[in-house]
Structures are given as structure tokens and as C-alpha cells.
Structure 1
Amino acid sequence: MIQAKDLEAGELAALLHFYADAGVDWLLEDAPIDRFAEFEAQQAAREQVRRAQVPEPEERKAPSRAAASAPLNPPPSVAVPDDQAVAAARFAADSARSLDELKTAIEAFGGCNLKNSARSTLFMTGQLSSRILVIGPMPNAEDDRDGAPFSGRHGQLLDRMLAAIGLSRDTVAITNIIPWRPPGNRMPSPAETAICQPFIERQIALAEPDHLLLLGNFPARFFFGGTSGTIHSLRGQWRDVTVAGRTLRALATLHPQELLMAPANKALAWQDLLLFSQALRTGSSAEQP
């Protein structure tokens, strides 16, 4: 068997990239590590922190003599309900008064289980001078590794898509609905999406864009509502979306991954980009003929 010490630097880098693209999240250690026990310990520690932050009711602080003499039969521990995690995310998001504060709040937030398996917490990049915000679904393996949205091949194709209509990463802002990569690039659950929703809504409220370019089926359904329909039925149409009390114009098109998997769809994406560019030039959002 070839040892790592026998590989050149370039060969070792290529091997590590291959493992990352294949979804390998952990490297073998010299001694075995019980990841299940490690995860349970992390969960127990977070639960202790959460309980310490919640004030006890008065009756629990001063129990009666009968209660003190009764045998102790503590109830079994339960997971934090999703609605409490959503409320905590909403409070953290609403408390941020700037994008920098919001970035710090998301990085410190521990109420979403996706953060436990992700390497990076992704946040908005780019510029807001154009008042254009490009929104993708969730990070993939390359994004998680590089710590920036739309890295690797997807990012390169997105750069070409933007350049085709005179835009670039230097003139638009780019973000994802979900700030953490789901394990194995799976779709986020409804509960995970609900927990992350306050963060993307607050990003939009603080960034104040005029136009949204939604990439892929997940963002289109997220902003247009409903769980039916595909990107092929949702794309190419300007729609009004209301975020934090403000109405914005949004256009959905295919995600770069869908174009890499089916290059014939590039013609459809090009039609959408022309429609988007037309609205930027004329200030109108006419429907595609």
C-alpha cells in the first residue's frame, strides 16, 4: 500500500480533493474515536448551556417541604422542540443591526443540527452597490471546504453566467438560504429550513436589494411558496415576493449544477438571464414572451 509520505505534494493534494468530492468528511486517526459518543457529549453540553440560560420558575426555586421529602423521579430528557429553535433563530436574527452583526450571530448559533456536521458557516459575499442579490439553496462540499458560496465548478459557471449579462461577483451579492452544508449534500428537512429562514430573511432586510436572482428549485419554492412545481415551471417569470414587510421582484432560473448535468438547459438559462438583464436596463420586469 502506498503511504502518504511517499506521495509528492501535488499528488497528495489531488488525493485529498478526490476524497472531499467523494463525500469523505473524516480522516482516520491513529487511535479509534467513537464519533457517536462524541456527538452525544456535544449534545449534552449544549443542553446544559441551554438550561443554564433559562430562568427557573419561582415554584422550582423554592420547593415545598412535601416536594422536598418526596422521592426524586426526574422526567426523561427530551430534545429541544423545533419551534423553540426557530424562535431562538428569529431572536438572534432580529437582534442584528448590520450584516457584520448578523454574520457573527449565525456563526454563534447552535440551534440547527446542520452546523454539527458542516466545516464552515457560509454568509453573503460580494457587493451591494448594484442592489442585486443572487440566492442559491445550500452549500455543497466545495463551498463547505472553501468557506464561500458557489465555489469550484458551480462557481466558475455562475461567473460565466453573470459575465454574459455584464455582471460579476464584484457587482452583485451572493448567498445561500441554508448557511451550512447538509451531510451528503442532501436536501434540508422542513424543520431545518424553518430554523434557517430567519437568517436569510434578515440578510435580505439588511442588504436591501431591488432584484433577486434565485438559482434552482429549492430557492424558487422557498420564495414563491408551495412544495409543488419544478424549476422548469417556476423559471422565467418575474414574481413579487415579500420579505420583512418589503416587496421585491424575483426571477428564478436553473442552478449551475443543473446546467452541468444537462448542458441542453443552458438555452433556458440564457433566456432567463436576458430577461433579468432587460429589467436591470429598463427598470421594468416584463414577462418572458
Structure 2
Amino acid sequence: MDSTDDAQVSPHQTFRQVRRALEDLVLFEGRQFIVPDQVSEQIGADPRPPREDVSAQQPAPELGAPAPAVATGRVTSEAASALGGGELASFRQQICECTKCELGHTRQRFVFGSGDPKADVLFVGEAPGADEDRAGEPFVGAAGQLLTKIIEAMGMKREDVFICNVLKCRPPNNRDPLPEEVASCEPYLKEQIRMVAPKVICCLGKFASQALLRSQSSLSRMRGQQHEYEGIPLVVTYHPAALLRNAAYKRDTWEDVKWVRRIYDGVEL
């Protein structure tokens, strides 16, 4: 490499690149490795003493395994109150007794969604499972606990995002949704997205991705591509349940959610 190439990369740039790579490795591997917030930006200078970090006493997020499942006895009214008293909560009250398809007669709870009603990041899954059907909230089982860890690894909190599913009621025995069920719920999802108005949508799994993109492509073909839903950037990744079955998907998922974070930060569109 000649001297002109050397001049293109400053020590400050090199330091930031190394730090980002270390932080990325820490979050992905889920191991304890503290990179101090107050480290010097000057290569060769003594770093300032780091602040006391509570993460030194707590394990970092581990993407490979879910935390213990939360109790699923919360009633639907509590899920509604978490949305506050705004437009989204009013919309939930309008549709929570829906019986447009057979699922409205077989469900235990109507699973509308949860999180910040004006979130910048919106996660969309397929349909409620047994845990969600009992709780009236999305992603509260093992896959949901893993999703929470992924969100935390992105540097966010679960309450800072909005999470919902294409279907609002559980299909019996967790079977695949039927076309008529999707047709019944699709207007609800469209209205949710309009009301939340996120900066970016992250589709979890093939079904949610196909539904929003109106595509029959495989997940592998949809991943890594630049998509939009009505002008909103959309990123496709694996459903957390798939990661529980196959840890090999973990690295690809991490790359996908980093893309979500970059869009949120305005770094990439």
C-alpha cells in the first residue's frame, strides 16, 4: 500500500471502526466484554476512567437462547391500557370483538399488538401462538423472549417499538393462516401501520413478509433486498421461532436487524 492510501484512513476512523466491530461481536456472541463509553477517541492516548456500568453485574443479551417465559395471565384490558388512550387504542376497541372469520369463534384472546403507539420501529410476525392467545399480547412465549433479546441487542427496549402480527387470532394448532383469514385481518394491519407511522418495518418470517410485500418469493430471496411498504422501508428476516430451531440463522438475523437499526438512525435508506 502506498502513502496516499495510508493517508485516506485517519487514526480516529480506524479506532471507531475497531470499536464498532468489537461492539458488534459482543452483542452477537452475547458475552461479557465492556467497551467503556468514555474511552478516548485519540489513538495512543490514555483512556479516561470509564463510568461504573451496571452491565458489569448483569449478563449481556445472549441471542442464542430465550429468557424464561413470562407469565401469560394478563388480560386483554391490560394490553389495551398499555397503548394509552390515543388513536391506536380506540382502533383496538373497535375491532377487538371481530368475528369476520372462523378464528374469531375459536380464539381465547384477540391479540392486537403492544408497544409504543408512535414507535419508529415496527415488528410484524405471522400469528399468535398458544401463549399469545392466553395473554392477549404478541410474542410472549419462547420466541417472544428471544425477540426481546434481539431488540435489546439493537440498543432499544421492547416498549420503544411496536409489535404485532398479520393475524390477530390464533389459528388452531398453529396451522398456517388461510387466505380468507389473511383477507379479514389485512385491513387491520394496514390501519395499524398507518397509525403508528414507523420509520422502518421489520417482517419476522416468510408469511409476514409475503403478506406485506404481496409476494410468493422464498424468505431467502426476500432477505437482503431493499423493500418498501407504502413508502416505508421494510427489512425481511427470520422469525425468532426459526432461530430456536436452527441457530445457524442467528448471524443472518443479526445482520438484518443491524440494517433495521441503521435505517432507524438515518444512516441507510
TM-score class, shorter-chain normalisation, is: 0.5 to 0.7
Give, in whole Å, the separation in 2 of the partners of 1:130 and 1:241.
16
Name the one with the larger helix percent.
1
The worse-fitting range, judged by mean Cα deviation, of 204-213 and 232-241 is: 232-241
In 1, Cα distance between equivalents of 2:266 and 2:92? 34
Letter in 1 for 2:170: R
Shift of 1:98: 2.0
CA contact (8 A) 2:200 2:263 kept: no
Distance of 2:93 and 2:259 partners within structure 1: 36
Distance 1:275 1:105 in 2: 35
What residue is the counterpart of 1:59 in the other structure?
none
Q: Which amino acid aligns with 1:121?
A: F
User: Please, which moves more after superposition, 256-265 or 231-240?
Assistant: 231-240
- Provide the rounded CA distance (Å) in 2 between the counterparts of 1:122 and 1:140: 10
Aligned to 2:148: 159
TM-score (norm 2): 0.66
- SS of 2:160 mapped into structure 1: coil
8 Å CA contact retained: 1:128, 1:171: no
Residue 271 of structure 1 is aligned with which of 248, 252, 255? Answer: 255
Counterpart selection for 2:187 from 194, 198, 212: 198
Amino acid at match of 1:147: G
2: CA distance, partners of 1:165 / 1:101 = 30
Structure 1 residue runs without a partner (length 5+): 1-16, 21-96
1:105 has 2:94 as partner: yes
1:133 to 109, 122, 130: 122
Q: How does 1:54-133 map to 2 (within 5 A)?
A: 98-133=87-122
Look up the match of 1:36. none
Larger Rg: 1
Structure 1 segments, 4+ long, off by >3 Å, are none
Aligned to 1:58: none
- Out of 221, 226, 232, the residue aligned to residue 233 of structure 1 is 221
Shift of 1:118: 0.8
Give the drift of 1:129: 4.6
SS class of match (1:108): coil
Task: Give the total of aligned pairs.
Answer: 186
| Cα displacement (A) at 1:274 | 1.5
Equivalent in 259, 272, 276 of residue 243 of structure 2 = 259
Unpaired runs of 5+ in structure 2? Answer: 1-68, 73-85
1:149 to 123, 138, 154: 138
SS of equivalent residue, structure 2 residue 158: coil
Alignment-derived partner of residue 45 in structure 1: none
